[in-house]
Structure 1
Amino acid sequence: MNTMTGPITRPEPLREAVYSRIVALIAGGELAPGKAVTEASLAKELAVSRTPVREALLRLEADGVLRSALAKGFVVKPLLHREAAELYPILATLEGLALTTSSPGQFDLVQLRELADQITEEQEPVHRWQADTRFHEQLVASSGNTSLIELVAKLRTNLSRYELEYMRRVGSREDADQQHREVLDAIEDGDMARAAHSLVRHWQVGMGTVLAWLKD
């Protein structure tokens, strides 16, 4: 069974479980750009009531992932060059801030290096994207800044559509693996300014690659 479809079974609050599953469906391409999304169809697919589905869809509209189609429900927004050009610098700045406001001792470097290795070893686009997401989430979570963590999570929900679609259509960026290691090396050396600079540069390179692809 595809883990992105089927009834909700997660041991977490239903509202969050439904939201997470719909995000996975969008990021994984099952709900592709331009596709109509309705409360009724998702509630049936996930075997839940329509209330948590409605809440999740409204939240995703606020996140910039969906747009209202009035009586037809919602539509997954298309991938736009302009939007990507706006999102990448913001995310880069916020993740860089997470590092510059943290101390090296706040980071579990063993776990982060394991995640970096998983990203390198994983060839399947969705699984690689999932490992990459966990890596960046762990970096930001280590800051302990709840507001920053929430802001970054909201941005990543939207930007993940661009990242994963690029991976599926073009392939992974080998330079990204080395950039991840440069960030971790800087943290291990206790140089958080260098770590933040490397992380921001990582996002800048990724932005250039994705924007060039969107233009084609």
Structure 2
Amino acid sequence: MTWAALTSGGKDSILALQKALDAGMDVSYMVTVVPDNPDSYMFHSANLAAVPVIAERCGMTYVGIPTPGEKEDELRDLEKGLAALPIEGVIAGAIESEYQRSRIAILCERLGIAMFAPLWHMDPLALLHEVAERMDVRIVVTAADGLGENVLGKRIDADMINLLCRISAKRRIHIAGEGGEYESLTLDAPCFSSPIRCEGWHTEFSCGRWVAAIERFW
């Protein structure tokens, strides 16, 4: 059974991919929706140039699906892209978002393929600890009170988890970023043949979000 992993390169989608590989699943494609709209309802837009490099490190074929990023239309673009692939299932990194999970499930049902969502309803703290123990993940977008430019580029490790927990206690943010409080980028994981390298970090502030924009990945 051939699978495609939906990924932005962030911690959730890469951890879901890793769990699929741990289970012995045949994952041949890494699929990224590339929205023109930075405020896409479903998909991340920051530093997506890293994903083709991640796919190469994982020995998978990269598939980029462009979309204007408008609500619901972006799902139709994803469906068209997946329909063109010789796959029998899709891997998703949804944790708690019913909006995300249900729409991908409906899409898979229409295509007659399976969906594997191993992080669904996983405890967020346990998820972060697994990320910290198994992966090198950096915060590249912040969009919540208590999280600003100062944490951009920081690794999700024990200290960062403690910080997220403290901020959550005061500000009620979701510690795993499920509410869009932050976005991440995976630089290394067990499924990578070698870590991702990058250069040209600079920070930008736009539309209420701090973004670490990275110029080059290899």
TM-score for both structures, normalised by structure 1: 0.31
Structure (1 or 2) with the greater helix fraction: 1
TM-score by length of 2: 0.30
Greater fraction strand = 2
When Rg is computed on C-alpha atoms for both structures, the one with the higher figure is: 1
